[in-house]
Amino acid sequence: MLIAGNWKMYKGPAETAEFCLGLREEELDGVDVVVCPPFVSLAVAVQLLAGTEIAVAAQNVHWEDEGPYTGEISAPMLRELGVYGAIVGHSERRQHFGETDETVAMRANAALEAGLFVIACIGETEEERERGETEAVLRRQVSVLEPDDNVVIAYEPVWAIGTGKTATPETAQEAHAFVKTLLEAPVLYGGSVKPDNAAELLAQPDVDGALVGGASLDLDSFTSICRAAAPIPS
């Protein structure tokens, strides 16, 4: 099970340091944990989580190694910092910053070539779901991704991100099972994952973890979701 915390545009270096020092003290055996701070907070997270099993990933990455791309960060730059991976194609990037399936593919490929792992986000909007287009949208979004051992898919129904709405465990399972027919990769669920719904979502057979948004900003909330993903001792 993989639990990744996407901090979005929260937590500068000072707050990140406080969070990571707390996270170091937690017993999180049996679950892979990733934190995804903003660019300005990556270095402090890498430094403070060094020597632990907790990985640090960026929230985005550019497709070129360098060049005249003001405001962008390349995969080699992230590698130099000690960053382990990157999110690509988050619905907020698609919605607010003109991200397309093609640019998602370019970002993913650049990250993989540089040796980063990739969490590639896919998901339908409420309008697309109501029109019965969920599978067509997911097929289109997945079609641009190449099979790779370092790719993880995050299924995020856009209507459930930051809205408090959550896909039912059955809805999530159905989407995850479909995605796995398109690409052989672990599939995380994202979309208002919280401590009180995490265990039920993570119990679904094709749910391989979670990409957690708002609930990853609080240490107690995030670690309780991580514990919900840990295997039950036999």
Whether residue 96 lies in the annotated active site: no
**pTM (whole model) above 0.85:** yes
Q: How far apart are CA 127 and CA 80, in angstroms?
A: 41
Structure token pair of residue 86: 């990157």
Residue of 62, 90, 99, 124 marked active site: 90
How high is the pLDDT of residue 154? 98
pLDDT tens digit sequence for 169-194 = 999 999 999 999 999 999 999 988 99
Q: Are 75 and 110 in contact (CB under 8 A)?
A: yes
pLDDT at 233 exceeding the cut of 80 = no
Q: In whole numbers, what is the pLDDT of the chain averaged over residues?
A: 95
Residue of 92, 99, 124, 156 marked active site: 156
How high is the pLDDT of residue 102? 97
- Residue ranges of domains in the chain, CATH in brackets: 2-229 (3.20.20.70)
Whether residue 200 lies in the annotated active site: no
Among 225, 233, 234, CA closest to 1: 225
Residue 18 in 3-state DSSP?
A: helix
How high is the pLDDT of residue 234? 58
Residue whose entry in the numeric block shows the structure tokens 């360098």: 66
* Other C-beta atoms lying within 10 Å of the C-beta of residue 53: 10
